A and B are shown apart, each in its own frame.
Chain A
């Protein structure tokens, strides 16, 4: 087996010869281990990637083909009917709503989170610790129990069924404030002190001196905000019931029960799923590093 020898050669090239005199390599550098590892990873990556491939292929299938050959990755014949039908069910409107909401929420979060994060990290004011404790408390509240409370307050404020109901409650998120605060704490104070002695105002220091240094954290918050608001479902369910205000998540979730019925029209739902995945996929592939950082850092156990 050529793979084995290749593995062996590779292992020898980098293998460390331990002092035991028997030329014993670390166990995880043995070629058999490596092969086994590849085997496991390949099997699992098929399990992880195949559903997305099926989603992609089914989008271009006819209804009959989708039901008849569910495993095949080759549409026969290739059909664009599913995408045409999405145009008939207000899909473009949902996409527009989702885009507007995601852009506004992302802009708001980046700005407000970094303002608050900076104040909590650097500015001394009465009640700072109380505000920070409150932010931590928010982190500890399970989001799903807020469905009814959110509706109550939106209703009370007369915001229910308006654009503002979709956007405003999402404009700040505690996790983002936290990520920003942590980052600002890692920037040396001396930079700000110099600007302060030159007579710059607090906002000026924040805007022109500190923010440009916080690029990595800002990108992390941007990505997490975009992904979070683009994929959000429960909030949009309780914020409005107006079809004109449907976002992609809500509109597409209702596809199965709504206008198309739960019939055999799988290509349509797969095309919808595919299209709503694309923006996040692009952002993910370009900024993967930051995703990883956002997922594992900027964290706290309250």
Chain B
């Protein structure tokens, strides 16, 4: 690699002992580290700068301009339009605004279901797995974790097949006499169905009181729809996929619960639930917060599954801000609006995670310090609460998704 040779040469040049011309103060044998250090980080700084920082600044400009995707966004004939694009998303009545708020509505329902579900399921399975006498632990861990490392595209395709009208899931439900829906073409909201089920309203003719008032281009009735049947498949898929990663985090934390305290609780006659509440859960608090934060960041970025499975349909019930922003840019060529959407999405994620961090700041810091101490005690195998990457959550890139996503 050219870089390699270059670095080597430079490093050697730099590391000659300073001659009389060396007017800089060098600290003995550590001379030349300044240049070497910069050479070492140069590739990283270049790539991250060129493909992360610079593009963000460019996109900020595009979100304030009327660029249509032709030519360069920096040419003379592209005009500055101020916050026009942001207004079209957030306030000006029109299709753009109602699309955007529909996607926000969908994503909010999605977050409200996915984040608690993946956290509780991961914690539950980790608690069960933490039994010392359990055999075949490795098998179970692998089974639960495997979906987290496989491609979101492959999993999405598999779920498309499982949830077809006559697919595996409906065949399974038919055993119990349940007539499953045609999942991916069913845009009915779960809350609508629930209300219909308990006799609150009739989805065929929704009550005036709800269809009348509207906000941001959606009627109250639409706001209250809940996630659609189609979106709930994606919710199931994501919970199924992400549980494994969080399960590992909980498992690592559970192994640090002090046995003496557990035993003391047993001697005091606490039953299993009391012990879990009083001993285990407080100890897991930092991990729970971490999982909630990662979940929150990941769930606002759902993209891959929408792209592969539904393209935002049926009836826009699986639109998410991330997918909508992609769609407006690459399919409708409304670049300014699309860029503005991604900044609004960024603001949402930023505000929510900052809020969360602020609420639990002190205890977090204490837990962090404790974890660091533990890590020093155990060397490089130590576990710290924190995040490696949104896996695609997922995925890479997702959660990093990955990056970011996840991994999702």
Report whether B33 and A124 are in contact in the complex, using a CB–CB cutoff of 8 Å: yes
Report whether A37 and B402 are in contact in the complex, using a CB–CB cutoff of 8 Å: no
Does A78 sit at the interface, judged by CB under 8 A? no
Report whether B143 and A175 are in contact in the complex, using a CB–CB cutoff of 8 Å: no
Report whether B48 and A138 are in contact in the complex, using a CB–CB cutoff of 8 Å: yes
8 A-B pairs besides A54-B158, A70-B162, A273-B155 with CB distance below 8 A are A27-B275, A138-B48, A148-B325, A151-B329, A202-B11, A233-B304, A256-B308, A296-B383
Does B295 sit at the interface, judged by CB under 8 A? no
| Residue from A34, A146, A235 with most neighbouring chain B CB atoms (10 Å) | A146
Report whether A124 and B37 are in contact in the complex, using a CB–CB cutoff of 8 Å: yes
The residue of chain A having its C-beta at the shortest distance from the C-beta of B43 within the complex is A112
B143 to chain A, nearest CB (A): 4
The listed residue (B1, B249, B386, B390) touching A142 by CB distance below 8 A is B390
A-B contact pairs, 10 of them (CB 8 A): A119-B37, A119-B38, A120-B41, A125-B33, A144-B345, A144-B398, A148-B338, A171-B47, A231-B396, A238-B326
Report whether B44 and A177 are in contact in the complex, using a CB–CB cutoff of 8 Å: yes
Q: How far is the CA of A273 from the CA of B154 in the complex (A)?
A: 4
Q: How far is the CA of A22 from the CA of B164 in the complex (A)?
A: 57
The residue of chain A having its C-beta at the shortest distance from the C-beta of B149 within the complex is A284
Report whether A144 and B303 are in contact in the complex, using a CB–CB cutoff of 8 Å: yes
Does B261 sit at the interface, judged by CB under 8 A? no
Does B22 sit at the interface, judged by CB under 8 A? no
B405 to chain A, nearest CB (A): 6
The residue of chain B having its C-beta at the shortest distance from the C-beta of A156 within the complex is B72
Report whether A296 and B342 are in contact in the complex, using a CB–CB cutoff of 8 Å: no
A298 to chain B, nearest CB (A): 5
Q: How far is the CA of A292 from the CA of B383 in the complex (A)?
A: 10
Does A1 sit at the interface, judged by CB under 8 A? no
Q: Would you give the 0/1 interface string for B3-41, flagging 1 where the beta carbon is closer than 8 Å to chain A?
A: 110011001101100000000000001101111111011
Report whether B48 and A291 are in contact in the complex, using a CB–CB cutoff of 8 Å: no
Q: Would you give the 0/1 interface string for A201-232, flagging 1 where the beta carbon is closer than 8 Å to chain B?
A: 11110110000000011000000100110111
Given contacts A298-B388, A301-B368, contact A125 B37 (CB under 8 A): yes
Does B123 sit at the interface, judged by CB under 8 A? no
Does A80 sit at the interface, judged by CB under 8 A? no
Q: Please list the residues of chain B having a beta carbon within 8 angstroms of any beta carbon in chain A.
A: 1, 3-4, 7-8, 11-12, 14-15, 29-30, 32-38, 40-41, 43-45, 47-48, 50-56, 58-59, 62, 72-74, 125, 128-134, 139-140, 142-162, 164, 166-168, 171-172, 240, 245, 248-249, 252, 262-263, 266-267, 272, 275, 290, 297, 300-301, 303-304, 307-308, 311, 322, 325-326, 329-330, 335, 338-339, 342-343, 345-346, 349, 357, 364, 368, 379-392, 395-405, 407
Report whether A284 and B48 are in contact in the complex, using a CB–CB cutoff of 8 Å: no
Measured between beta carbons, the chain B residues less than 8 angstroms from A224 are 388-389
Report whether B330 and A253 are in contact in the complex, using a CB–CB cutoff of 8 Å: no
The listed residue (B36, B44, B128, B322) touching A135 by CB distance below 8 A is B44
Q: How many pairs of residues, A versus B, come closer than 8 Å at their CB atoms?
A: 400
Report whether A150 and B303 are in contact in the complex, using a CB–CB cutoff of 8 Å: no
Report whether B297 and A45 are in contact in the complex, using a CB–CB cutoff of 8 Å: no
| Residue from B62, B167, B339, B386 with most neighbouring chain A CB atoms (10 Å) | B386
Report whether B326 and A237 are in contact in the complex, using a CB–CB cutoff of 8 Å: yes
Measured between beta carbons, the chain B residues less than 8 angstroms from A135 are 44, 48
Does A33 sit at the interface, judged by CB under 8 A? yes
Measured between beta carbons, the chain A residues less than 8 angstroms from B131 are 28-29, 33-34, 37
Report whether B380 and A183 are in contact in the complex, using a CB–CB cutoff of 8 Å: yes
Report whether A124 and B30 are in contact in the complex, using a CB–CB cutoff of 8 Å: yes
Measured between beta carbons, the chain B residues less than 8 angstroms from A191 are none
Q: Please list the residues of chain A having a beta carbon within 8 angstroms of any beta carbon in chain B.
A: 7, 10-11, 14, 18, 20, 24, 26-29, 33-34, 37-38, 40-41, 44-45, 47-49, 51-52, 54-55, 58, 66-67, 70-71, 111-113, 115-116, 118-120, 123-128, 131, 134-135, 138-139, 141-153, 156-157, 168-169, 171-175, 177-179, 183, 186, 196-197, 201-204, 206-207, 216-217, 224, 227-228, 230-235, 237-238, 248-249, 252-253, 255-257, 266, 269-270, 272-274, 276-277, 280-281, 284-285, 288, 291-301
Measured between beta carbons, the chain A residues less than 8 angstroms from B45 are 131, 134
Report whether A202 and B15 are in contact in the complex, using a CB–CB cutoff of 8 Å: yes
Report whether B73 and A152 are in contact in the complex, using a CB–CB cutoff of 8 Å: yes
The residue of chain B having its C-beta at the shortest distance from the C-beta of A67 within the complex is B166
Measured between beta carbons, the chain A residues less than 8 angstroms from B307 are 233-234, 237, 253
Query: Which secondary structure dominates where chain B touches chain A?
Result: helix
Report whether B404 and A144 are in contact in the complex, using a CB–CB cutoff of 8 Å: yes
Measured between beta carbons, the chain B residues less than 8 angstroms from A248 are 151, 153
Shortest 3 CB-CB distances between A and B: which pairs? A299-B386, A143-B404, A125-B37
A170 to chain B, nearest CB (A): 9
The listed residue (B37, B128, B152, B300) touching A233 by CB distance below 8 A is B152
Measured between beta carbons, the chain B residues less than 8 angstroms from A196 are 29-30
B310 to chain A, nearest CB (A): 10
Report whether A228 and B400 are in contact in the complex, using a CB–CB cutoff of 8 Å: yes
Report whether B161 and A58 are in contact in the complex, using a CB–CB cutoff of 8 Å: yes
Measured between beta carbons, the chain B residues less than 8 angstroms from A139 are 387
Q: How far is the CA of A100 from the CA of B407 in the complex (A)?
A: 22
Q: How far is the CA of A37 from the CA of B127 in the complex (A)?
A: 9
The residue of chain B having its C-beta at the shortest distance from the C-beta of A252 within the complex is B153
Q: How far is the CA of A194 from the CA of B169 in the complex (A)?
A: 64
Measured between beta carbons, the chain A residues less than 8 angstroms from B158 are 51-52, 54-55, 270, 273
Measured between beta carbons, the chain B residues less than 8 angstroms from A127 are 38
Q: How far is the CA of A54 from the CA of B330 in the complex (A)?
A: 35
Report whether B41 and A131 are in contact in the complex, using a CB–CB cutoff of 8 Å: yes
Report whether B342 and A234 are in contact in the complex, using a CB–CB cutoff of 8 Å: no
Report whether B33 and A168 are in contact in the complex, using a CB–CB cutoff of 8 Å: no
Report whether B59 and A152 are in contact in the complex, using a CB–CB cutoff of 8 Å: yes
Given contacts A142-B300, A144-B398, A233-B304, contact A10 B43 (CB under 8 A): no
Measured between beta carbons, the chain B residues less than 8 angstroms from A284 are 146, 149
Measured between beta carbons, the chain A residues less than 8 angstroms from B3 are 111
Report whether B41 and A116 are in contact in the complex, using a CB–CB cutoff of 8 Å: yes
B47 to chain A, nearest CB (A): 4
Given contacts A48-B144, A52-B146, A124-B30, contact A173 B403 (CB under 8 A): yes
Report whether A143 and B400 are in contact in the complex, using a CB–CB cutoff of 8 Å: yes
The listed residue (A48, A67, A168, A281) touching B143 by CB distance below 8 A is A48
The listed residue (B263, B342, B368, B404) touching A26 by CB distance below 8 A is B263
